[in-house]
Amino acid sequence: MAEEVKATWPKGEEIVSALLEKAPYAEGSVRRERRLEFKVPADRIVDFLRTAKASGFELLLQITAVDWPNEGEIELVYQLFSISHGTHAMAKTRVPRDDARISSVMDIYPVAETYERDAHEFYKVVFEGNPKLEMPWILEDEDREAGVSHRKDFDMLGYVKKKYKILDRFDEDKENYVI
């Protein structure tokens, strides 16, 4: 089954090679029909997205942050969609976990402002050039101060125990809860 999934998609190969010609610093591949994947170094992401928008990727659907504590990195996945080519593409980049900084792509896709606020709130990634990062978003001030985040090292059960004072339902020795 796995070989079948990897079947090539000639149109995708063309799109990837055309884009990589303009952006030689990136790596690109075709995953399956209508799914492309690019790996971009973090300092070139603005250039890459500008090139991508010029070559037909009109929509930025989401910026997903994935925390990889073992590798000490946070992966940012820019989900792009091209209406003219009819394909989805992921642009993946990695930033160090301790000092998660990357420049904002607001100039290219204005909607990125919202996505960046979201990623900043939950993954503490700083997007340089975004004026609204400090603006209240989803969490309340007291949650922000208490350090709520979606990073892997955030101890959710401990936080819940402390915040809502419901000790009867939690057992400290247990690792897994049957739900």
Partner 1 sequence: MVDWRLFDPLFEYARKRSMWIVSFCTGCGGIEMPPLATSRYDFERFGVMPNPSPRMADLFLITGYVTPKTLKRIIITYEMQPDPKYVLAHGSCPLNGGIYWDGYNAIKHLDKYIPVDVAIAGCMPRPEAVMDGIQKMMELIETGEADGWKRYKENYEWYRKNQDELFGEGWREKTARRWIPWLMDKKKEVKEE
Partner 2 sequence: MVSQQELIREARENGMELLPLEKDTYELFFGPQHMATENYSLILKMDGHRVVKAIANVGFLHRGFEKLAEYRPWHTNIALLLRICVPEPDVPEAIYSMAVDEIMGWEVPDRAQWIRTTVLEMARVSAYLFWIMGLSFKLGVYTAGQWAAAYRERLMALFEQLTGGRVYHIYTIPGGVRRDIPGDRWLRELKDTVEYIKAKLKDFDNLLFENYIAHRRLEGIGVMDKKFALAEGVTGPNLRATGVAYDVRRADPYLLYPELDFEVPVLKEGDALARAMIRRFELEQDLYILEQLLEMGPPSGPYKVQDPRLKNLPRLKVPAGDAFAHVEATKGDFGAYVVSDGKNKPYRVQIRGPSISHGVRVIEQLLVGARLADVPVILMSLDNCPPDIDR
User: Which member of 14, 58, 155, 171 binds partner 2 (CB under 8 A)?
Assistant: 58
Binding marks (x or -) toward partner 2, 19..38, rule CB under 8 A? ---------------xx---
Could you say whether residue 167 binds partner 1 (CB under 8 A)? no
Beta carbons within 10 angstroms of residue 165's beta carbon = 8
CA gyration radius for the chain? Answer: 19
Least Cα distance to 30 among 46, 19, 45 occurs for 19
Closest approach, Cβ 24 to partner 2, in A, equals 25
Beta bridge partners of 32: 35
C-alpha distances out from residue 172 to 157, 158, 162, Å: 9, 9, 12
Task: Determine, following the binding rule CB under 8 A, whether residue 55 of this chain makes contact with partner 2.
Answer: no
Select from 23, 60, 100, 102 the one that contacts partner 2 (CB under 8 A).
60
Examine residue 158 and tell whether it contacts partner 2 (CB under 8 A).
no
Structure-block tokens of residue 109: 């896709």
Instruction: Establish if 54 lies at the interface with partner 2 (CB under 8 A).
Output: no
Kindly report the number of other CB atoms within 10 A of residue 76's CB atom: 25
Site string for partner 1, 141-160 (x = CB under 8 A): xxx----x-------xx-xx
Could you count the other beta carbons within 10 Å of the beta carbon of residue 11?
A: 14
Q: Interface with partner 2 by CB under 8 A: which residues?
A: 1-2, 5, 34-35, 58-62, 64, 66-67, 77, 79, 81, 83, 86-88, 90, 109-111, 113-115, 118, 122, 136-140, 150, 154, 156, 177, 179
